[in-house]
Chains A and B, each alone.
Chain A
Amino acid sequence: MNLLQEITFLLKKEFTLEWRQKYAISGIFLYVLSTVFIIFISFQKISPQLWNVLFWIVMLFASINAVVKSFVQESGNRQLYYYQLANPLAILLSKMLYNAMLLLLIGVLTFVALSFIAGSPVEDAYNFAMALFFGSVGFSITFTFVSAIAAKADNNSTLMAILSFPVVIPVLLLLVNLSAHSIGLLGGTQVSRDIMMLLAVDLVLLALGMVLFPFLWRD
């Protein structure tokens, strides 16, 4: 099997697994909804600036909770079995791809929920969608790789937070900047430059993840 086939096959496996244990994904959705509800109760009126920041904070925490289980939901022995069967790189990439889709879904849900209770301040929908897309990809790459590191340690959920928050900040700040543009908080014509920069950071992290992962999975 070549890499592409392996990835599609493993992706199917991830979806099946998710579909069988619905509690994980429904837990995340419930998490997003209840956070948005708490935000509404505590703020009542949300300014566009606040909306922008709150959106990405909800997104950040939901993403970490969603991704943290990538490498721990299945036992270590079964993981080792997978690594024998498939290319480890295919396993990493399929997990990144799956998480990117999951995070995109979470992002859309957060957007809908936040817009439902507080209205949507987004003026430039295309740019916002771009930010959401590249943001999901960036979060997915970073968090998946960090969760692979954290899964090797014993107290992995604490370690996940410690390792991933500082590492994700460049991506997060680019995203907040980009979506502030699409909301109309920031003027200027640097949107395409910001998107390019986000893409560059995503690609660097992806390349690094692919180079370093072979050293990570072995036990």
Chain B
Amino acid sequence: MKNAWWKIIGVLLIIYSLIVGLLTPLRTGISDASPTSFKTGETIEINVQGYNSFYTKSSNELRAWLKMDSVNALTANNIEVLDDRNLSLTFILPAYLPTSHKVQDFTLIVDSPKDGAAILPGGIFVTQDSIDVASGDSLWVNAEITNLHEKETINFPYRNILYETIRNLYYHVPLWFAMFILFITAMVKSIFYLRSFNPVHDQKAAAFTSVGILYGILGLVTGAIWAKNTWGAYWSWDVKQNMTAVGMLIYAAYFVLRASFEDPEKRARISAVYNIFAFATLIPLLYVVPKLTDSLHPGAGGNIAFGSQDLDNTMRMVFYPAIIGWALFGTWLATLVFKITSLKERWLDQQDGF
């Protein structure tokens, strides 16, 4: 038990990330608004569908805005609560907008003291027949957006398109990080082998590589499930998905290579060389090629990475422990694989009468 503390920490961190990651509710949001297109000079009614919202509990204190830009916003003239999930908002649109765009998009904001603020970014479109910025300015009744509430309890951000799948961040991404840690360890062990020619290092490299492949496949599967819910298909031949599959092929070839040698010394040496070479090709595969073409994946094809905008401090509390947990757990798995192979080897040696 003395040397098992890191295994326990790894398992505890994974359990923590599973429990907290799956049970923490999402913040309130707006899942749907209809209709979404309007014309200037009308009194409009928008039916809002809330997510994780409890409108009836704070029906008198609800506030709603249509936000045009950082300065200009319209407030709702009437808010009718239909039930906990449904609102009917009434706005009076002026005849002209203080903008030179023909079609202007508005962000819908609903604020309640109970749930906190919810937004639907750029979800409402208003078309003006003729553009007149000056009269738009004079007609505009600006309502400043102030004192937005925040929900007190622990929760995760609500994002349109992502919805509940935002939790996959704690499984897909940490598995991916941990896979990299495992492959790097395997490469370092291969370098150790080539420096010392101690067969233990080679067996460890093979063990870390095998667990790395397992993590890679799990990362690919969790990614495919996420893609089904956000991109619309499990496999959309996205460059990031394709390159990951190729990366797994590179490492699968490592085991084919190992299997094709009879002599253990030769096998260890050649596969150590290949392992280092494989890692060097994995980097351009996963970080250079996806930047060249269009991709749906965050952090590729000119997209911003997930962390820069959508990761808040509550998510970090689960995300970072999950990375450490999966990495420690993977290391544990690799040491087990190593023990099994070395025991098998010893048993075979005894069978041969060494």
Report which A residues bind B (CB closer than 8 A): 145, 149, 152-155, 159, 162-163, 165-167, 169-170, 173-174, 177, 190, 194, 197, 201, 204-205, 208-209, 212, 215-216, 218-219
- Which residue of chain B has its CB nearest to the CB of A216? B273
Known: A169-B285, A174-B289. 6 other contacts (CB 8 A): A163-B253, A166-B247, A167-B250, A167-B278, A173-B289, A201-B284
Q: How far in angstroms is the closest Cβ of chain B from A151?
A: 10
**Chain B contacts for A173, CB-based, 8 A:** 289, 292
**Chain B contacts for A167, CB-based, 8 A:** 250, 277-278, 281
Q: What are 17 pairs between A and B in contact, CB < 8 Å? A: A145-B277, A152-B261, A159-B256, A162-B253, A163-B256, A163-B257, A166-B249, A166-B281, A167-B281, A170-B281, A177-B293, A194-B292, A197-B292, A201-B284, A208-B276, A212-B276, A215-B273
Q: How far in angstroms is the closest Cβ of chain B from A185?
A: 12
Contact A205 B285 (CB under 8 A): no
**Chain B contacts for A149, CB-based, 8 A:** 257, 270, 273-274, 277
Contact A170 B288 (CB under 8 A): yes
B266 close to chain A: CB less than 8 A: yes
Contact B272 A155 (CB under 8 A): no
Among residues 232 to 285 in chain B, which have CB atoms less than 8 Å away from a CB atom of chain A? Answer: 243, 246-247, 249-250, 253, 256-257, 260-261, 266, 269-270, 272-274, 276-278, 280-281, 284-285
**Chain A contacts for B273, CB-based, 8 A:** 149, 212, 215-216
Q: How far is the CA of A95 from the CA of B186 in the complex (A)?
A: 30
What is the interface of chain A mostly: helix, strand, loop, or mixed? helix
- With contacts A149-B270, A159-B260 taken as known, whether A212 is within 8 angstroms of B281 at the C-beta atoms is no
Q: How far is the CA of A118 from the CA of B177 in the complex (A)?
A: 47
- With contacts A167-B278, A173-B289, A173-B292 taken as known, whether A216 is within 8 angstroms of B270 at the C-beta atoms is yes
B194 close to chain A: CB less than 8 A: yes
Contact B288 A162 (CB under 8 A): no
**Chain B contacts for A215, CB-based, 8 A:** 194, 269, 272-273
Interface band, chain B: 20 to 34
Contact B280 A204 (CB under 8 A): yes
Contact B260 A155 (CB under 8 A): yes
**Chain B contacts for A208, CB-based, 8 A:** 276-277, 280
Q: How far is the CA of A174 from the CA of B285 in the complex (A)?
A: 10
Q: How far in angstroms is the closest Cβ of chain B from A148?
A: 9
Contact B270 A166 (CB under 8 A): no
Q: How far in angstroms is the closest Cβ of chain A from B98?
A: 37
Q: How far in angstroms is the closest Cβ of chain A from B172?
A: 23
Give the number of A-B contacts (CB < 8 Å).
81
Q: How far is the CA of A163 from the CA of B256 in the complex (A)?
A: 9
**Chain A contacts for B249, CB-based, 8 A:** 165-166
Most chain B CB neighbours (cut-off 10 Å) among A155, A163, A166: A166
- Which residue of chain B has its CB nearest to the CB of A214? B194
B253: which of A154, A166, A169, A216 is its contact (CB, 8 Å)? Answer: A166
Q: How far in angstroms is the closest Cβ of chain A from B254?
A: 9
Q: How far is the CA of A174 from the CA of B243 in the complex (A)?
A: 13
Contact B256 A152 (CB under 8 A): no
**Chain B contacts for A163, CB-based, 8 A:** 253, 256-257, 274
Q: How far in angstroms is the closest Cβ of chain A from B248?
A: 9
Q: How far in angstroms is the closest Cβ of chain B from A82?
A: 19
**Chain A contacts for B289, CB-based, 8 A:** 169-170, 173-174
**Chain B contacts for A159, CB-based, 8 A:** 256-257, 260
Nearest 4 interchain pairs by C-beta: A166-B249, A170-B284, A153-B260, A166-B250
- Which residue of chain A has its CB nearest to the CB of B249? A166
**Chain A contacts for B293, CB-based, 8 A:** 177
**Chain A contacts for B274, CB-based, 8 A:** 149, 163
- Which residue of chain B has its CB nearest to the CB of A204? B280
Q: How far in angstroms is the closest Cβ of chain B from A95?
A: 16
Q: How far in angstroms is the closest Cβ of chain A from B120?
A: 34
**Chain B contacts for A165, CB-based, 8 A:** 249
A152: which of B194, B247, B270 is its contact (CB, 8 Å)? Answer: B270
Among residues 188 to 223 in chain B, which have CB atoms less than 8 Å away from a CB atom of chain A? Answer: 194
Q: How far is the CA of A79 from the CA of B261 in the complex (A)?
A: 20
**Chain B contacts for A154, CB-based, 8 A:** 260
Q: How far in angstroms is the closest Cβ of chain A from B301?
A: 13
**Chain A contacts for B277, CB-based, 8 A:** 145, 149, 167, 205, 208-209, 212
**Chain A contacts for B292, CB-based, 8 A:** 173-174, 177, 190, 194, 197
- Which residue of chain B has its CB nearest to the CB of A155? B260
Q: How far is the CA of A167 from the CA of B266 in the complex (A)?
A: 22
Chain B 156-199 against A: per-residue CB contact (8 Å), 1 yes, 0 no? 00000000000000000000000000000000000000100000
- With contacts A197-B288, A212-B273 taken as known, whether A153 is within 8 angstroms of B281 at the C-beta atoms is no
- With contacts A170-B281, A170-B288 taken as known, whether A219 is within 8 angstroms of B266 at the C-beta atoms is yes
**Chain B contacts for A194, CB-based, 8 A:** 292
- Which residue of chain B has its CB nearest to the CB of A167? B281
- With contacts A162-B253, A194-B292 taken as known, whether A170 is within 8 angstroms of B285 at the C-beta atoms is yes
Most chain A CB neighbours (cut-off 10 Å) among B247, B272, B284, B288: B284
Q: How far is the CA of A167 from the CA of B284 in the complex (A)?
A: 10
Most chain B CB neighbours (cut-off 10 Å) among A154, A174, A212: A212
**Chain B contacts for A162, CB-based, 8 A:** 253, 256-257
